[in-house]
Amino acid sequence: MSVLQMLREPSYLANKEVASVQNANCVVMVPPKEFKFNAETAADNEFQNQVSLTDSIVRLQAMTEFDAMVATLRAEGVQVVVFDYPESKCETPDAVFPNNWFSTTANGEFFTFPMACENRRQEVRPAALVEALTAAGRTVAKQDSLESYLDVNAHLESTGVMVIDHINQTIYAALSQRCDREVLEDYAERIGYQKVVSFQTALPSGNPIYHTNVMMAIGERFCVICDEVIPEFERRFVLKSLAKDKQIISISIEQMNQFCGNILQLETASGERVIAMSQSAYDAFSSAQRAQLASHGKLLAFDVSTIENIGGGSVRCMLGEVFLPKRGL
C-alpha cells in the first residue's frame, strides 16, 4: 500500500444515494482586492501575463469587472454569496478564483483541497466560508478535507482540475502537478461517484494544461472541449464517454486561449438555464457554436479582461458552485 493510500480515510459516502443535479443556482465569488500577477502560479500557468500597470490600477480594474459580474448574475436570478474576508500578512493574489480550494455537494458536504502553490493555500478559510454560506441560507451538514495530502506533496485543486458530470456521476480530469490521480480517486470515492476519466494533455509548448476547466466545460446536455490537447489514444475514450448524452462542441487551441473552455452553466431561481462566460470567449466562439450553446441556456458574457489576462483564469474560475441544500428543505 502506498503512502497516499494509507492517508485515505474510509469513505462515509460510498453507499449513499447522491443527487444528480448538474447546475448550481448559487455561487461563491471573492472580491479581487489583493489581485495581481502571481509569480508563484505562473510557473505552470501559461495563460498568465505580466503587465506594466501598477497594482492599484490593476485592482481597480479587476474590482470593476467583478462588481459588474456579480450585479448581472444577481439580476438574472443566480444567488451570489460574496465572500469577503480581512486581509492578512500574506497576500492572496488569486483569491478571486475560489473554485480551486473548496467544493460542495447536494447532500450538504463541504470539502477543502490541497493547493499546489503556497500563497494560494492562504485562501483556504473553511470556517469563515461555512459561516457565510450558512448566513446565505445554505446548510452544511458535514465538513471534510483532503489537505493532509500536502504531507506527501500531492495536490487536487477542486473544480479547477475536476470537470464533473453530476448527472452521470463522472469526474473528468487532466493530470498535472495540480491534479494527482490518487487524490482524485479518493475524492470520487468520498462523494460516491463511480467513474473517473483522467487523461494526459499537452500544449504546443509540451507542458500539460494546468487546470482542466480551461480546456473543457460540462453542462446538462453539452460539453465544450479542446480535445486536440489530449493524446489521440486517450482522446477517443474521453470523447466516447462524453458523447453518450452530451452534444460535443469542439474548440481549437486558439479558442481555448480565449477561455472558450472556461464557461459554466448555472440555474436561476426560476429554473432557467444561463451559461456564464467571458466576453473574449463569447467573441472567440463561432456564430454556429454560439447558437449551439444558446440552445442550452441564455449566454451571459462578462468583460473580465484584466482578471483573465493577468490571472490566467476566467469566468468559470471565479465561480465556486454551491450545491448545498437550502436551510429548511
Domains of the chain: 3-31+50-321 (3.75.10.10)
Cα-Cα-Cα-Cα torsion 96, 97, 99, 101, nearest 10 degrees, comes to -90
Report whether pLDDT(7) > 70.
no
For residue 39, the model assigns a pLDDT of 55
For residue 62, the model assigns a pLDDT of 94
For residue 36, the model assigns a pLDDT of 65
Give the per-residue SS3 of the chain: CCHHHHHCCCCCCCCCCCCCCCCCCEEEECCCCCCCCCCCHHHCCCCCCCCCCCHHHHHHHHHHHHHHHHHHHHHHCCEEEECCCCCCCCCCCCCCCHHHCEEECCCCEEEECCCCCHHHHCCCCHHHHHHHHHHCCECCCEEEECHHHHHHCCCECHHHHEEEECCCCEEEEECECCECHHHHHHHHHHHCCCEEEEECCCCCCCCCCCCHHHCEEECCCEEEECHHHCCHHHHHHHHHHHCCCCEEEECCHHHHHCCCCCCEEEECCCCCEEEEEEHHHHHHCCHHHHHHHHCCCEEEEECCHHHHHHHCCCCHHHCEECCCCECCC
Report whether pLDDT(13) > 90.
no
Report whether pLDDT(14) > 70.
no
For residue 18, the model assigns a pLDDT of 38
pLDDT band for position 241 (cuts 50, 70, 90): very high
For residue 45, the model assigns a pLDDT of 59
Listed in sequence order, the residues at least 6 apart from 286 whose beta carbon sits closer than 8 Å to its beta carbon are none
pTM: 0.90
For residue 90, the model assigns a pLDDT of 81
Higher pLDDT, 110 or 328: 110
Report whether pLDDT(193) > 80.
yes
Report whether pLDDT(309) > 50.
yes
Higher pLDDT, 39 or 229: 229
Higher pLDDT, 263 or 55: 263
What average pLDDT does the structure give for the chain? 89
Nearest CA to 103 among 151, 148, 181, 162?
162
Higher pLDDT, 38 or 66: 66
Higher pLDDT, 173 or 51: 173
Nearest CA to 253 among 207, 293, 222?
207
Report whether pLDDT(311) > 90.
no
For residue 21, the model assigns a pLDDT of 85
Name the burial class of residue 10, with classes exposed (0-12), middle (13-18) and buried (19+) by CB atoms within 10 angstroms of its CB. exposed
The grid coordinates listed for 171 are 469526474
For residue 46, the model assigns a pLDDT of 58
Report whether pLDDT(305) > 70.
yes
Q: CA 151, 191, 277, 283 torsion: positive or negative?
A: positive
pLDDT in tens, 265-302: 999 999 999 999 999 999 999 999 999 999 999 999 99
For residue 10, the model assigns a pLDDT of 39
Q: Are 255 and 65 in contact (CB under 8 A)?
A: no
CA 58, CA 56: separation in Å to the nearest integer? 5
For residue 41, the model assigns a pLDDT of 58
Task: Specify the amino acid at residue 2.
Answer: S
Report whether pLDDT(134) > 70.
yes
For residue 12, the model assigns a pLDDT of 37
- Work out the percent of the chain whose per-residue pLDDT is above 90: 75
pLDDT band for position 152 (cuts 50, 70, 90): very high
pLDDT in tens, 74-86: 999 999 999 987 7
